[in-house]
Amino acid sequence: MSDSPRRYRPRLRRRAALYLSAALLMSGTAGCYAFGGKDLTDLGREESSSLGAAGTEPDAALSRAMDLPWPTEGQASAEVEGVGSLGTQGEQTPVPIASITKVMTAYVILTDHPMPAGEQGKTVTADQQAADESYSPTESTAPLVAGHAYTQRQLLELMMLPSGNNVARLLARWDAGSQEEFAKKMNKAAAKLGMDRTIYTGASGIEPSTKSTAADQLKLAHAVMKNEAFRQVVATPTTTVPGVGVQINNSNRLLGQDGVIGLKTGSSTPAGGNLMWAATKEIEGTSHLILGVVLHQQAGTNPTQAMAAAFNASHTLITAIRSALPQALAGP
């Protein structure tokens, strides 16, 4: 994703102008992500509280102006970074989120162990447990070799692209000593981001007791996508497993289409199909970041079928937003 060096000040619909101007002042310029020496959780907490105080009426007006094709089941939420919320669909009742959980796992890892963009970060040695769990027939995993040293970047790719549950648990043990202690860190980070309808009970998302809402997960997407290293990981189409030589594809089949630059898939029978996504739209030389979350599609069915439904619903929403955004920003 490229950031424009100049600021874009669109002519906005009158009812949305006040909110959107405030949002632009808070963000500086759409698509610009500077940390200013603050860690991810502090930055996310400040922005979450600022956005939440802005009110909802202008957001609804912008959403209506775009006439979005929200999913007809489950729940969803979307926003244009630096512009405003596009609203939510469905009752925001906490539901299982499956491997969308790994976004918070990555968020905590990158908060505790900052990794500059383009670098490999710290070194982690795979333990026997991670290796033994590599070939589970009942969950998504990535092949790890006991005693092999992996870089932080390699493990994040193996967790996010093929959704390796064993990798998520290895990172949790590396960071906090146990998955239980790591889950406490996840919940603390969620609280700082204002995710008050979220509970994490593990690092991988395999536990159906980990629950959240689309609106809460959008807060996380908003915060974590400010990390350049994270954005590089989720935009990676394929990775090769160190020590094994196997090439693994990103499970996000929308990646690279219609401006999609990430983010994370998640599916299980209790959770249904879920997708947290990020896409860009360039308007008059400025790249706008669009974030969205679609949860609980065809829950209770086959996970493959449910994930296909989440992809379809998300793709429909992404293409509609990207198509309507230029006119919505330009105003009447």
Say what the pLDDT of residue 60 is: 53
User: The tokens of 320 are what?
Assistant: 């509609």
Say what the pLDDT of residue 3 is: 32
Map tokens 């290796």 to a residue.
Answer: 131
Gap between the Cα atoms of 282 and 193, Å rounded: 28
Please tell me which residue, 54 or 167, carries the higher pLDDT value: 167
Say what the pLDDT of residue 48 is: 40
Coil, strand or helix at 19: helix
pLDDT over 50 at 246, yes or no: yes
pLDDT over 70 at 21, yes or no: no
Say what the pLDDT of residue 329 is: 85
| Tally: H helices and E strands in the chain | 11, 11
Gap between the Cα atoms of 6 and 43, Å rounded: 23
Say what the pLDDT of residue 328 is: 86
Three-class HEC string of 35-74 = CCCCCHHHHHHHHHHHHHCCCCHHHHHHHHHHCCCCCCCC
Nearest alpha-carbon partner for 215 in 91, 46, 36, 59: 91
Say what the pLDDT of residue 18 is: 30
Gap between the Cα atoms of 196 and 91, Å rounded: 15
Burial category of 20 from C-beta neighbours within 10 Å (exposed 0-12, middle 13-18, buried 19 and up)? buried
Residue type, 12: L
Model pLDDT for residues 283-313, shown as the tens digit of each residue: 999 999 999 999 999 999 999 999 999 999 9
Please tell me which residue, 146 or 13, carries the higher pLDDT value: 146
Residue 290, strand partner residues: 80, 279
Q: Band the pLDDT of 227: cuts 50, 70, 90.
A: very high
Gap between the Cα atoms of 109 and 315, Å rounded: 29
pLDDT over 90 at 208, yes or no: yes
Q: Which helix (H) or strand (E) holds 95?
A: strand 95-96
Q: Which helix (H) or strand (E) holds 192?
A: helix 179-192
CB 268 within 8 A of CB 206: yes
Say what the pLDDT of residue 181 is: 98
Indicate the pTM of the whole model: 0.83
Coil, strand or helix at 140: coil
Tell me the CA distances in angstroms from 238 to 1, 123, 249, 306, one per residue in order: 18, 21, 4, 23
Please tell me which residue, 3 or 66, carries the higher pLDDT value: 66
Backbone φ and ψ for 52, nearest 5 degrees, come out as: -65, -25
Nearest alpha-carbon partner for 143 in 10, 274, 266, 246: 246
Tell me the CA distances in angstroms from 327 to 15, 62, 193, 285, 330, one per residue in order: 15, 11, 31, 15, 5
Q: Band the pLDDT of 122: cuts 50, 70, 90.
A: very high
Say what the pLDDT of residue 194 is: 98
Model pLDDT for residues 127-176, shown as the tens digit of each residue: 999 999 998 999 999 999 999 999 999 999 999 999 999 999 999 999 99
Please tell me which residue, 14 or 77, carries the higher pLDDT value: 77
User: The tokens of 149 are what?
Assistant: 């040293």
Gap between the Cα atoms of 93 and 113, Å rounded: 32
pLDDT over 50 at 267, yes or no: yes
Domains observed in the chain: 14-330 (3.40.710.10)
